[in-house]
A and B are shown apart, each in its own frame.
Chain A
């Protein structure tokens, strides 16, 4: 079984500052993908960033970057220069590339941006 744990139900950050959201996971597979999804009040699920487990280099997408620690099974999301539009629920997710392709989500972190 694979699991994803997000231990921060809520986080807040001052506009223009940097915030890091935590995620740990567990899987017996050696090849897998990790994701961060954003869900604004519209309920739409938006992919923020993706990391392939076999890639040692941390993924980055503009102001969003990850710290992928494979041995520690940790996958944190860093948001730089936080903007009001970043306010949302953020979900960490995991899928193994082989086997049952079950896509598993964490419980989410609600991010508030303070103007």
Chain B
């Protein structure tokens, strides 16, 4: 299994508070992604990174920010959590070679009350 871990695995937070989710990899892969998964919407890309300090927005980036200060860590921050951000969040990593594949973390269930 690819070395990718997300923390925390579960979190309940109050509306208006900041929340940071962490994705840690031991594969030295260049690309890292944050998705949210909601029923009927599949996996929607929030932000992604193509290198240290190189990030770009996905399709649902409003209300989220990211940082990648080193290859192995990709942080997702909800600046002021809202109930609409209640979701399951997945991190993925990839390195595009002849055997291109994205590896996923276990997911983080976030509930905003």
**Is the pair B42, A50 in contact by a Cβ cutoff of 8 Å?**
no
Contact with A along B39-74 (1 / 0, CB 8 A): 011111100101000001010000000000000000
Q: Given that A47-B101, A50-B101, A103-B48 are known contacts, is A91 also in contact with B42, CB under 8 Å in the complex? A: yes
Q: Which residues of B contact A47 (CB under 8 A)?
A: 101-102
Q: Which residues of B contact A103 (CB under 8 A)?
A: 31, 33, 45, 48, 92, 94, 102
Q: Given that A9-B40, A35-B102 are known contacts, is A104 also in contact with B45, CB under 8 Å in the complex? A: yes
Is residue B87 contacting chain A, with contact meaning CB distance below 8 A? no
* B90 (CB) vs chain A CBs: closest residue: A45
- Separation of A103 and B92 alpha carbons in the complex (Å): 10
**Is the pair A102, B58 in contact by a Cβ cutoff of 8 Å?**
yes
* A1 (CB) vs chain B CBs: closest residue: B59
- Separation of A50 and B42 alpha carbons in the complex (Å): 19
**Is the pair B42, A108 in contact by a Cβ cutoff of 8 Å?**
yes
Mostly helix, strand, loop or mixed at chain B's interface?
strand
Closest CB of chain B to A24's CB: distance in Å? 14
Interface size class of B (residues with CB under 8 A): 20 to 34
Q: Given that A50-B101, A101-B96, A107-B42 are known contacts, is A43 also in contact with B106, CB under 8 Å in the complex? A: yes
**Is the pair B42, A43 in contact by a Cβ cutoff of 8 Å?**
no
* Option from B31, B88, B107 in Cβ contact (under 8 Å) with A101: B31
Is residue A105 contacting chain B, with contact meaning CB distance below 8 A? yes
User: Which residue of A100, A104, A105, A108 has the most chain B CB atoms within 10 A of its CB atom?
Assistant: A105
- Separation of A9 and B41 alpha carbons in the complex (Å): 10
Interface residues of A (CB under 8 A from B): 6, 9, 33, 35, 43-45, 47, 50, 91, 93, 95, 97, 100-108
Interface residues of B (CB under 8 A from A): 31, 33, 35, 40-45, 48, 50, 56, 58, 88, 90, 92, 94, 96, 100-102, 104, 106-107
